[in-house]
Amino acid sequence: MKRHYFLGLAAGRKIGAARQLFAIGRKKHLVELEKTLSKHYDGTAILCKNGRSGLAIALESYFKKGDGIIINAFTCYAVVEAIETAGCVPIYADISKEDLNFNVATLKKVNKKGAKGIIIQNTLGNPVDIVEIEKFAKNNGLLIIEDLAHCAGVRYPDRREVGTVGVATALSFGKDKSIDTTSGGAVIIRNTESSNRETPSVRLSSPKFCDSARARWYPTLAAWCRGLARLHLCGALMRLFVKIHFVEKSADNKLDISKRCTKWQAKLALEQIKDLRRTGEGKIRDFYLVNDRDKCLKELKKAGFHFDGFWYERPISPERYYKKVHFPEKECPMATEVAAQIINVPRYYPRTKLKKAYKIIKSYLVEEKK
């Protein structure tokens, strides 16, 4: 019997569908999550509607309108949206194929554009050379903000935990993130001396009922779709759920600095944070660069592995937002090339279940990863 696996449909999540559907949170869970994050990252934690809202709060806390912010040239539109919401300007730094991150060499090139800050995302959980980047930032008067959507719990090569280096740390609890409650997030403001204000003047309120309900039901709806894979109805059913607004695509989760995550999301996020602290494993995906990706994906699909929802199909993903960012492809050739070659495999799948998938991917590899 052919088995089916899907990226982006919540298969193998740390929190099961039933657990999320019936989770009951209380105010004490919001308070405990704030205290836990404040203590762990040594700052003032604020719970947010999503990760991009947390980034926007961090940026507004430390930068002025018009300031340039260096970001990874291979990232999600959510990062660009947060920067523009704060009135700042994104500056794209090209990446290395080895770890999908920028390095000091690429930072030197783009810093000529008058940057004031750097957002470090440790792409897919691969840590940057933080010692060299931190040194570069200090020498050039740049403030570092760490985005932990991909990497909560990971450690840098010098053994410091990600999220403990910059002036602020943003976390996302979105789909397929290191901490996954479908949506939600947080920001930790650490260096109040260099902040525009002692504490962010943001009044956070409960999310809309429809937003909370969509987040709560998403894993269950995704499970139903997976169950219909053999009838080839999975894609059609998910598209229907999106059309009638039962499911919201991750990139469409609107930025709103006036809202926070739900009480039940706080409860589930706490459970996952404790697990991350215990295991130290926050890397979310393994990546492979392949020739003829469309052909590779078709062969994977024929074998029962639906890996169409890879991160990212464009340097700044998703495709429908790409034209809005006016991405400088000629200045970022590696990010552009990687976006056309990459296939991702979530680390929460047991490798034994994906043995055949790895075999197929290996036959298309651009080169063996070291």
For residue 151, is it within any domain?
yes
Centroid of chain to Cα 173: 8
The C-alpha R_g of the chain, in whole angstroms, comes to 20
pLDDT at 199: 47
Query: For residue 257, which amino acid is it?
Result: I
190 and 289 in a common domain: no
pLDDT at 207: 82
Classify strands 342-346 and 285-289 as parallel, antiparallel or unpaired: antiparallel
Phi, psi (rounded to 5 degrees) for 187: -135, 140
User: Per-residue DSSP letters for 286-342?
Assistant: EEEEBSSHHHHHHHHHHTTEE--S-S-SSSEE-GGGHHHHT--TTT-HHHHHHHHHE
pLDDT in tens, 22-52: 889 999 999 999 999 999 999 999 999 999 9
Query: For residue 29, what is the domain's CATH number?
Result: 3.40.640.10
> Is residue 96 pLDDT above 60, yes or no?
yes
For residue 1, is it within any domain?
no
| Domains in the chain, number | 2
> Is residue 237 pLDDT above 50, yes or no?
yes
pLDDT > 90 in the chain, percent: 58
Q: What is the pTM of this model?
A: 0.89
Last residue in a domain, options 150, 175, 194: 194
For residue 248, is it within any domain?
no
- Please choose, from the candidates 36, 44, 40, 7, the residue with its C-alpha nearest in 3D space to the C-alpha of residue 271: 36
Is there a contact between 295 and 363 (Cβ–Cβ < 8 Å)? no
Domain that includes residue 117, residue range: 17-194
Last residue in a domain, options 194, 213, 245: 194
Which long-range contacts (C-beta less than 8 Å, at least 24 apart) are formed by 323-327? 324/77, 325/77, 325/80, 325/90, 327/73, 327/92
166 and 36 in a common domain: yes
For residue 223, is it within any domain?
no
Spatial separation of the C-alpha atoms in residues 40 and 152, rounded to whole Å? 12
pLDDT at 279: 56
| Matching residue, tokens 């740049």 | 142
DSSP-derived 3-state class of residue 161:
strand
Average pLDDT, the chain: 86
pLDDT at 200: 46
> Is residue 308 pLDDT above 70, yes or no?
no
The two three-digit tokens of residue 202, written as one number: 């943001």
pLDDT at 106: 95
310 and 178 in a common domain: no
pLDDT at 277: 65
pLDDT in tens, 110-127: 988 789 999 999 999 999
Last residue in a domain, options 176, 194, 212: 194
The two three-digit tokens of residue 31, written as one number: 């308070």
For residue 271, is it within any domain?
no
163 and 22 in a common domain: yes
Q: Kindly indicate the confidence band of residue 347, based on its pLDDT and cuts at 50, 70 and 90.
A: confident
Is there a contact between 124 and 283 (Cβ–Cβ < 8 Å)? yes
Query: For residue 70, which amino acid is it?
Result: I
pLDDT at 158: 95
- Among 181-190, 221-230, 257-266, name the one with the lowest average pLDDT: 221-230
For residue 148, is it within any domain?
yes
For residue 45, is it within any domain?
yes
